[in-house]
Amino acid sequence: MLGVGEVHISGRRIGIAIVHEEDLITGLSVSLGGEPNLKPLLSFLRGRGITPNLERKESRFLKLIGDLLLGRIENRELFPLLDTSFLTPFERRLYSLVIEIPRGSVVSYGELAKLLKTSPRAVGSGLKRNPYPLIVPCHRVVAKKGIGGFSGGVKLKRLLLELEGVKKWPDSKPT
């Protein structure tokens, strides 16, 4: 099923599309204003053998994502609601670390790479495939020198970090 909606925060619209079954989130897509582009998420899921039902249906998960964005609930509270059956062991380890990054904090790709005994590039690639942005807060992972990328775009990453109280990241100027 597909739940589509938006959250209004600080005068900005954040579009959210959630692919889910009754009890588990299979993936989500996010955008700054307007309905998110589902093509990359659906391509990823199909590549992992998942053919989601895209019938639009009201979703209880939309309110939970709104509460998450507003800081009413913590990321790890939503982790049990994720269908992780199609993830690789590396992705599971990576996402279990990222979900523990507290709101208002950032870590670098390199810091995560050291913990996982891999390269920053492998971490970046794993986060690029993250089918649960916002829940697995890959926006809290930044480059050694700058903000780094984000599936919803750098403007949205910047906004999410600012909403969480992050004003600076490594080797960047305060916003």
Q: What is the mean pLDDT of each run of 10 residues along the chain (175 residues)?
A: 94 95 96 93 97 94 95 96 98 97 96 97 97 98 92 92 87 50
Question: Which sign does the torsion angle of CA 103, 115, 88, 130 carry?
Answer: positive
Give the DSSP H/E element, type plus range, for residue 11: none
Report the pLDDT value the prediction gives residue 145, as an integer from 0 to 100.
Answer: 87
d(CA 58, CA 4): 8
Write out the CATH class of domain 2-163: mainly alpha
- Which are the catalytic amino acids? 138
Q: Output the pLDDT for position 167.
A: 81
How do the domains of the chain map onto residue ranges?
Answer: 2-163
Pure H helices in 48-128: 60-69, 75-78, 89-98, 109-116, 120-128
So what's the pLDDT on residue 174? 45
Claim: this prediction has a pTM higher than 0.85: yes
